Structures are given as structure tokens and as C-alpha cells.
């Protein structure tokens, strides 16, 4: 087996065994839409012939947003730019695949943290 051999992940054919592990970009707009910087970064990864590129985690609901600058896949408005990232990767022609990572921050969600912080601050007397 060589790192340069094709591999099947389910029914998805991957051109080699190089994987870009999911890495949060911390660069999304406040509303969770991706910024311009995403397109060039993912284009470069594809040009580098990474077989499978896993995008930084995407929040699936506002309440599940894990941190500031996180991109979302929580509403219709998020979809066009996410599609554009996929297109950008495919248009390089290298055969790289891009995979979305879905996330709900759970106890680590920003909104939950803010909620708890609010409670703590309300209890304090100055």
C-alpha cells in the first residue's frame, strides 16, 4: 500500500491517502457565512493534491455554535458560499474531495457559556 494509491471511503473514491484533518478556520463572518479567505485556502489545499480535505467544523444550529469565527451550515443563507467552496476545490481539477464536518458545541457552545456567565453575573453583588 502506498500513500499515493487510490482508496474508497464508502462509495467515494479518493485519489490518494493524504487527508487534511478538520481544522477550524476561525475566520467566518459574524452570521456564520464563510469569508473570502476560505476559498483561497481550500483552493491551495486542493492544488496540493490532498485526497480528502475535511473542512473546519460547521455549526448546525445557532445554539450549537462553539466559538466566534465559526462557519455555519445552519440555515439556507449558509449554503451558497459552502457550495462555492466545494466548486472551488473541484474546479482545480486535481480530484481532491472536500468533506464537511458537522458540529454542535453542546456544553461548549458559545450561547450556553454566555447564558451561564449571565447567571453568574446576576448572582454577584458588587
Ligand X SMILES: Cc1cc2nc3c(=O)[nH]c(=O)nc-3n(C[C@H](O)[C@H](O)[C@H](O)COP(=O)(O)O)c2cc1C
Binding site for ligand X (CB under 6 A): 21-24, 56-57, 101
Q: Which is nearer to ligand X, 9 or 117 (CB)?
A: 9
Tell which residue, 15, 9, 5, has the closest CA to residue 48.
Answer: 15
Q: Which is nearer to ligand X, 7 or 19 (CB)?
A: 19
Nearest approach in angstroms of CB 52 to ligand X is 13
Q: Which is nearer to ligand X, 91 or 108 (CB)?
A: 108
Q: Which is nearer to ligand X, 61 or 101 (CB)?
A: 101
Tell which residue, 67, 72, 71, 15, has the closest CA to residue 45.
Answer: 15
**Do residues 98 and 43 lie in contact, with contact meaning Cβ atoms separated by under 8 Å?**
no
For CA atoms 53, 56, 57, 58, the dihedral sign is negative
What's CA 74's distance to the chain center, in Å?
12
Nearest approach in angstroms of CB 66 to ligand X is 8
**Do residues 83 and 71 lie in contact, with contact meaning Cβ atoms separated by under 8 Å?**
no
Nearest approach in angstroms of CB 26 to ligand X is 7
Nearest approach in angstroms of CB 86 to ligand X is 17
Amino acid at each position: 500500500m502506498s500513500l499515493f494509491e487510490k482508496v474508497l471511503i464508502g462509495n467515494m473514491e479518493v485519489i490518494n491517502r493524504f487527508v487534511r484533518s478538520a481544522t477550524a478556520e476561525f475566520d467566518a463572518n459574524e452570521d456564520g457565512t464563510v469569508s473570502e479567505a476560505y476559498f483561497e485556502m481550500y483552493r491551495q489545499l486542493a492544488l496540493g493534491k490532498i485526497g480528502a480535505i475535511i473542512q473546519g467544523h460547521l455549526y448546525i444550529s445557532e445554539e450549537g455554535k462553539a466559538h466566534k469565527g465559526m462557519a455555519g451550515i445552519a440555515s439556507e443563507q449558509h449554503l451558497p458560499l459552502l457550495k462555492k467552496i466545494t466548486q472551488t476545490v473541484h474546479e482545480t481539477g486535481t480530484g481532491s474531495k472536500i468533506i464537511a464536518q458537522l458540529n454542535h458545541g453542546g456544553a461548549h457552545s458559545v450561547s450556553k457559556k454566555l447564558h451561564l456567565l449571565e447567571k453568574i453575573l446576576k448572582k454577584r453583588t458588587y
